Amino acid sequence: MKAKSVTIQFTINGEKKQLDIPAGITALELIRDRLALKGTKEGCGIGECGACTIVVDGRAVNACLMFAAQLDGREVLTVEGLAQSGDLHPIQEAFAEKHAVQCGFCTPGVLMSTSALLARAPAPQPR
């Protein structure tokens, strides 16, 4: 039996896309396997580690828990879209300056979560 496919249109890192995709694949599979944007990582695959974090319409989400079909009509940002014109994003510069990478595997996810937070709350305060 052939897997059902769906057509989606969305923008990723400023680039408009229209793709026919298998209905059941995750946003993570689409981003890594189909679009070859390997900065988005798969750690746990069950929504616990955050290594797969992307920003969809300004909100940080776990790409491993989202169907790719749910990206239809949305604006998506991955770590590859943070840097502009070859210059690191200020968040990336700050991480590099402070050596805030640990092993580095989940750093793209942390960068994307930080990006979404600071876009919403430029000077977040602890409660």
State the residues that interact with ligand FES by CB under 6 A.
Answer: 42-45, 47-52, 62, 64
Smallest separation, CB 51 to ligand FES (Å) = 5
Round to whole Å and give the CA distance between 27 and 52. Answer: 9
Q: Which is nearer to ligand FES, 29 or 81 (CB)?
A: 29
Please name the amino acid found at residue 81: G
Q: Which is nearer to ligand FES, 93 or 105 (CB)?
A: 105
Q: Which is nearer to ligand FES, 51 or 111 (CB)?
A: 51
Smallest separation, CB 85 to ligand FES (Å) = 29
Round to whole Å and give the CA distance between 14 and 22. Answer: 23
Round to whole Å and give the CA distance between 43 and 69. Answer: 21
Angle, vertex CA 88, rays to CA 96 and CA 105, nearest 5: 50
Smallest separation, CB 53 to ligand FES (Å) = 7
Q: Which is nearer to ligand FES, 60 or 82 (CB)?
A: 60
Tokens of 12: 């990723």
